[in-house]
Structure 1
Amino acid sequence: MNRQILDIALPSIISNITVPLLGLIDVAITGHLGSPAYIGAIAVGGTLFNIIYWMFAFLRMGTSGMTAQAYGRKDFQEIRKHLLCSLGIALLISIILIALAAVVRETALFFIAPSAEVGDFARIYFNIGIFGAPASLGLFAINGWLIGMQNSRTPMFVAIAQNILNIVISLSLVYGLGMKVEGIALGTVTAQWGGFVMALFMLKKQYQNILFSNTCRLTDAIKLISRNDLSIFFSINKDIFLRTICLITVHFTFIAAGSRLGDTALAVNTILMQLFTLYSYFMDGFAFAGEALAGKTIGAQDRKSYNLVVRNLFIWGGIMIAAFTLTYLIGGQWFISMLTDDADVRNSAMDYRLWILLFPICGMAAFIWDGIYIGAAATRYMLLSTAIGMAMFLSLNYILYPTLKNHGLWAAFNCYLFIRGAILTATRKKVFRSTV
């Protein structure tokens, strides 16, 4: 079982680490164009796309759990239907986003309120970048389906190829043809579509017998998609979408509260959040393994294997707690020094080392259970735990922030992580008694 967990978790971790590289590459190139307005435009545009795509991450999560259960049952008709449903919804959402691009763009710029020059460049970046939406959302659907099929290697190869393509094309357009922001945007969009096409090609190559044989045609699956199938799909993904809204609320409340404390506090929080993000990349890998393996064992009605999956995932979670706690305890100051050379920021960040050490302990159960619950398609309880965690965060921040300031903010954030895991732990028997 450990081999199966690592076969899914390790490629997923590598894929997760490559995700921010698309944005970092864009920033690195614009940083040499001669004007800070270019960097600001990429930052604004990149943040906007991150939010948009984050909101529709249910296309990946919802698809993986349902596909994994169908895979466990060896129900290949259902497997095909889940891929087509997810891809179809991704295409529909993309069309709506492109049609409403101007409204989305101007609404976001109104709230962000960048300078006139940054705003103009950001519009150029967004107007081009929005045409990558079908590819990005389509990849969400495909990656979710592949994870459900116990395959996280293909998404890893696609993510790596996508980043290489982005580097080559963006550098060629900017330094070869003299483009500015439009070259960065075109490079990113081309890489997104390149990754999507590569994923489709690999689907056809690896799953020919399931998707494209004469006896198992995709057209047959399209005809068999019923109103009930769509109802289940939207019900599960509605819960994940609302859960994502809760996550975004916590994220932006955290940023806003930190920014009110001044530039140093905002810089400290940004750096410390990078350490949490690094931890989350690793834990998400094991969560993906939970989605795939828990869904598969639940679909097969194999309680013994399901219990083994849960036990081993939490063993790996414990290993991650020990590894990251020790790493941050010994190397926390070094990590912070790598991220900034500002003495005030570095010294201030070390005052919060306790909260850094609590990340792994408070967050582990939430990550592991999230993956298992997605595999079980028990999304209502995920939404419940996140909503309660969000309410806890907002309440504690309101109470602690006036007196403890940034320490109160970090205390509220760690409690938010802990309560999510605690609720999912408490509800696990009720949920899985009826599914396994």
Structure 2
Amino acid sequence: MNFKVPRGTQDILPSESWKWQRVESIIRDVCDKYRYKEIRTPIFEQTELFQRTVGDTTDIVTKEMYTFTDRGNRSMTLRPEGTAPVVRSYVENKMFGYADQPVKLYYQGPMFRYERQQAGRYRQFVQFGVEAIGSADPAIDAEVISLAMELYKRVGLKDFKLVLNSLGDKESRTAHREALIAHFKPNIEELCGDCQARLDKNPLRILDCKVDREHPLMKSAPSLADFLNEESAAYFAQVKAYLDDVGITYELDPNLVRGLDYYNHTAFEIMSTASGFGAITTLCGGGRYNGLAEEIGGPASPGIGYGLSIERLLLAMDAEGVAFANDPELDVYIVTLEENAHRKGFKLLNELRSAGIRADMDYMDRKMKAQMKSADRFDAKAVIVIGEDEVEAGNVQLKNMADGSQEKVEDQNIVTTVQEKLK
């Protein structure tokens, strides 16, 4: 029987995993500069957590979740997004009682959604996200957005843009909801079945429909911007002012609603503008979610955050031709020519590694020529050759692979000599 990787997933091989490690290192550094601390939550949670927070009319909940019944007859779901688990942890662990608010957190890990695989989108994907919980200051909105923008700059991207909208508070959304129902209801049969089901439950989701996005009803739908009350409009104006102050440019899109029910006030996406990136240009999306903590039993704790796919970040790098410089794979390769030399080489290998030197040797009993070819493939800076004569004499031959020079080095001086050469 032939086993293959499950549909919608991928193996990240060593030839690619080092790029992921570079991105992860940049993420940690940027988050450290902004004073965001890592949080790690379980890969699965109670299904109701996502139903209550993400929304039972969203595509994620109705079509995409991986849900199973555990041995205790409890419904569990592999996490499809990161915000709900983080807010659950914030409430459960009483982080709202911390002296320093907002609590600034970041996470990174696999998420799971059963959707059609396409470029940069998988059923298991790695999401990085940040959450700032406990403050309703519009300045924290601007900080969260600036962290995302800084991350994309740090990995070397240039062709991307920030798109903003305000979803307003509950009062604004209620007024907009009534206007949407009045707009769509007379011709709702022209739209897809999902849109028809959403009309009375959550008409805002209709604007997020992928099937009918080009329908004339969408283009003429009432804009949420026209229904923002004074408080919501003032909040959004402050967010934009803070972004202006730090030189972050943005576009306004009144149709940007995001795909999760918990968003309100600020909503944003960062999109790739690189040619050839693909039809789906979103790299990152997020927004404010005041009321989410209360929804799962916690005290009022306004928050804002976002999530981004590492796969799509790497895809954007490829589209722009951005590449990380790959470090040389190896400092020293040890070539041995007979059994006693092999034992001496193995002992030396461990001494070199203990001294912080990247070293390797042959384990396939190959001839000297084949071992030297391995050293070339690994881009080794130096080669140590050990044969029967070197075992008896208590030395090795050290070859500089850059200029081909070679010298004899006594056993007791090998590690220090190699260290000096590598400098």
Whether TM exceeds 0.5 here: the answer is no
Relative contact order higher in (CA < 8 Å, ≥ 6 apart): 1
**Structure holding more helix per residue:** 1
**Structure holding more strand per residue:** 2
TM-score by length of 1: 0.23
TM-score by length of 2: 0.24
